[in-house]
Amino acid sequence: MEGLAKKIPEDWKTLGRRLNMKEAQLDSIHKEEDKYSERAYKMLLKWKRAEGKAATFSVLYKALCHHLVNRKDLAEQFCCEK
């Protein structure tokens, strides 16, 4: 998750919304962290913890490929087996 977080710093909130994170959670992360990569990392951690087993690579892949995020390159890099 840390590797992905470093590659989506500006898109972290948009991705968080596609992962069904609440706006209040995203705002809280924004206030807590100064660095965009840390914000992205914390968002991914909170998503994983909240969703548990439902936080799958498939869900993350779809969120990264969503037209508002548009990062299929990262979806393929981080969510697909090699």
What is the per-residue pLDDT for 73?
96
The answer to whether 39 touches 54, Cβ cutoff 8 Å, is: no
What is the per-residue pLDDT for 82?
57
List pLDDT tens digits, range 10-40: 889 999 999 999 999 999 999 999 999 999 9
What is the per-residue pLDDT for 80?
87
What is the per-residue pLDDT for 35?
92
Report the alpha-carbon angle 32-37-40, nearest 5. 70
What is the per-residue pLDDT for 16?
97
> With respect to CATH, is domain 2-79 assigned 2.130.10.30?
no
Q: Is residue 49 pLDDT above 80, yes or no?
A: yes
Distances from the Cα of 16 to the Cα of 79, 81, 82, angstroms: 16, 23, 25
